[in-house]
Amino acid sequence: MKRGSLAALAAFGFSAIAGSGSALAAESGVGFYLLGSKGPFAAVLPGPGVYFQNDAYFYSGSAGASRDVPIGGRIVANIDATAYIDLATGLWVIPGDFFGGSLAFQATLPWGGQNVDASLALAGGGLGAGVSDSVFTIGDPVLGASLGWHNGNWHTVTGFLVNVPIGDYQEGEIANVAFHRWGLDLNGGVTYFDPQTGWEVSGVAGFTFNGENPATNYTTGTEFHFEGSVTKTFSPQLNAGLVGYFYQQVTGDSGTGANLGDFQGRVAALGGTLGYNFQIGSTPVSTRIKVYREFAVENRLEGTAGFLTVTIPLGGPKQ
């Protein structure tokens, strides 16, 4: 495998659960864009061919009794939540030149579970009876496209993602994998990688625009996200380094279901990553582990997120 090639395949994916604060911003305190899904070599598209990537995602977070959260049309607080989501992604990089770069299409199908324990928030700020919910099902598929360019050690990419609200949404429940709303994410990024020294630096930013959830009459505001990485490649098989992300909601929530008013969330996270490449027969396999710890949180849950990513080519060049 060419050093850093398949390891660079970005995990364009989708959000399962994240964040913390004092009245959760975004419905259920989460956007469909999966924070931390992109990391090292995020702006590098692989060569023409078909690729399969699987991301096993885990998140565990909490919010105290003073933090009200709109979930499933109800207001809850004192929350402990866990999500374990598998995201299967197919990526097709088309042969040929498109505006001087490479054109790729992708599709992601998430499935998995969520456990939520909370207290019902009552009028006047008190807490009512405890409530808990769990679900294991299929989420909303995400479709996307991207254009990538290579110029020596510099690589750039721009693209979009669309959340298609056809997953198994459990109306009125506080645990859900699907979002039951349309969403559009516009993003772009840059990667610098020097094969001589092995150093890599990547940054990817984007804006997420959300439609209304018709089951709750809730419209999540526009969200900004940034992800970055600095890694060192020690050999064609091994690389490691630091990763992080930052999220800021730039417009408030709206709709008749947004009964907590106009709230905007923020969260930052730092962590580490380890990438390892190997071969099964003649097939190259790229693996990566990323772990993030959140801080500087406002109006979201606060917790720890982890990814285990495996990428293999299904057709086309083996480099």
Calculate the average pLDDT of the chain.
85
How far is residue 224's CA from residue 245's CA, in Å, rounded to a whole number? 11
CATH number at residue 45: 2.40.160.40
Q: 96: closest CA among 144, 143, 47, 145?
A: 47
How far is residue 105's CA from residue 79's CA, in Å, rounded to a whole number? 38
User: Is residue 140 domain-resident?
Assistant: yes
How far is residue 265's CA from residue 23's CA, in Å, rounded to a whole number? 9
User: Is residue 1 domain-resident?
Assistant: no
The predicted pLDDT at position 206 comes to: 98
Q: Which residues of the chain have pLDDT under 50?
A: 1-24, 123, 316-319
Percent of the chain with pLDDT over 70: 80
The predicted pLDDT at position 218 comes to: 86
Q: Which residue has the tokens 């929530």?
A: 253
Give residue 185's domain range.
6-313
61-88 per-position pLDDT tens digit: 987 655 666 665 567 667 889 999 999 9
Q: 58: closest CA among 108, 112, 13, 10?
A: 112
The predicted pLDDT at position 117 comes to: 84
3-class secondary-structure state, position 28: helix
User: Is residue 248 domain-resident?
Assistant: yes
The predicted pLDDT at position 76 comes to: 67
How far is residue 93's CA from residue 46's CA, in Å, rounded to a whole number? 7
Total structural domains within the chain: 1
The predicted pLDDT at position 238 comes to: 98
Burial of 126 (0-12, 13-18, 19+ CB in 10 A): exposed
Q: 189: closest CA among 225, 141, 144?
A: 225
Question: 64: how many CB neighbours lie within 10 A of its CB?
Answer: 12
User: Is residue 75 domain-resident?
Assistant: yes
User: Is residue 57 domain-resident?
Assistant: yes
User: Is residue 318 domain-resident?
Assistant: no
The predicted pLDDT at position 8 comes to: 39
